[in-house]
Amino acid sequence: MNTLTLPSPTAFRTSVTDESVLDEAGHAESTLQVTAGTKIRAEDVNAWFGKAHVLKDISLDIAERRATALIGPSGCGKSTFIRCLNRLHEVVPGARYKGRILLDGEDIYHRALDPVLLRRRVGMVFQRPNPFPTLSIRDNVLAGWKLAGQRPKDPDGLVERSLRQAALWDEVKDVLNRSGSSLSGGQQQRLCIARALALEPEVLLMDEPCSALDPIATAKVEELIHELKERYTIVIVTHSMQQAARVSDFTAFLYLGELVEFNTTEAIFTRPANQRTEDYITGRFG
Amino acid sequence: MKTHTDRAYEDELGKLREELLLMGAKVESMVAASVRAFSERDYDLARRTIECDHEINRLEVEIDGFCLSILARRQPVASDLRFLTSALKLVTDLERIGDLAVNISERTIDLAVDPPQRSYPNLARMAETVQSMVHDALDAFVASDPAKAQWIIEQDRVVDSLYSQLFHEVLVFMMDDRSAIHRGMGVQAIAKHLERIGDHATNLAEQVVFMAKGRDIRHQASLEPGTTT
Which tens digits make up the pLDDT trace of A265-280? Answer: 999 999 999 999 999 9
pLDDT at res. A90: 92
Q: Do residues A67 and A236 touch, judged by C-beta distance below 8 A? A: yes
A278·B75 Cβ contact <8 A: no
Tell me what the mean pLDDT of segment A144-158 comes to: 92
Q: How many residues does chain A have?
A: 286
Tell me what the mean pLDDT of segment A121-143 comes to: 94
B177 Cβ partners below 8 Å, 6+ apart?
none
CA distance B152 to chain A (A): 20
pLDDT at res. B227: 56
CB burial class (10 A; 0-12, 13-18, 19+) of residue B10?
Answer: middle
Helix (H, G, I), strand (E, B) or coil at A100: strand
Choose among A21, A241, A279: nearest Cβ to B2: A279
Checking if the pLDDT of A67 tops 90, the result is: yes
Model confidence pLDDT, tens digit, residues A10-60: 334 333 333 333 333 333 344 555 545 999 999 999 999 999 999 999 999
Q: Model confidence at A285, in pLDDT bands (50, 70, 90)?
A: confident
Closest CA in chain B for residue A285: B5
For A150, other C-beta atoms within 10 Å of its C-beta total: 11
CA distance B1 to chain A (A): 8
pLDDT at res. A32: 57
Round the average pLDDT of chain A to a whole number and report it: 87
Q: Please choose, from the candidates B100, B99, B126, B98, the residue with its C-alpha nearest in 3D space to the C-alpha of residue B39.
A: B126
pLDDT at res. A17: 34
Strands A250-255 and A67-71, bridge-based pairing: parallel
Checking if the pLDDT of A169 tops 50, the result is: yes
Q: How many CB pairs under 8 A join A and B?
A: 52
Model confidence pLDDT, tens digit, residues A220-267: 899 999 999 999 999 999 999 999 999 999 999 999 999 999 999 999
CA distance B25 to B139: 10
B77·A22 Cβ contact <8 A: no
Taking CA atoms, A233 is separated from A14, A67, B73, in Å, by 19, 6, 32
Q: Which residues of A touch B (CB under 8 A)?
A: 18, 21-23, 241-242, 245, 269-272, 277-279, 281-286
CA distance A248 to A245: 6
Q: How many residues does chain B have?
A: 229
CA distance A286 to chain B (A): 6
B3·A278 Cβ contact <8 A: no
> Which residues in chain B show pLDDT less than 50?
229
A282·B215 Cβ contact <8 A: no
Model confidence pLDDT, tens digit, residues B14-35: 999 999 999 999 999 999 999 9
Instruction: Tell me which of A82 and A28 has the higher pLDDT.
Output: A82
Q: Do residues A142 and A159 touch, judged by C-beta distance below 8 A? A: yes
Q: Do residues B207 and B217 touch, judged by C-beta distance below 8 A? A: no
Tell me what the mean pLDDT of segment A203-207 comes to: 96
pLDDT at res. B222: 56
Whole-complex ipTM? 0.81
Between the CA atoms of B118, B124, B127 and B129, what dihedral angle is there, to the nearest 10 degrees? -160
A283·B79 Cβ contact <8 A: no
pLDDT at res. A265: 96
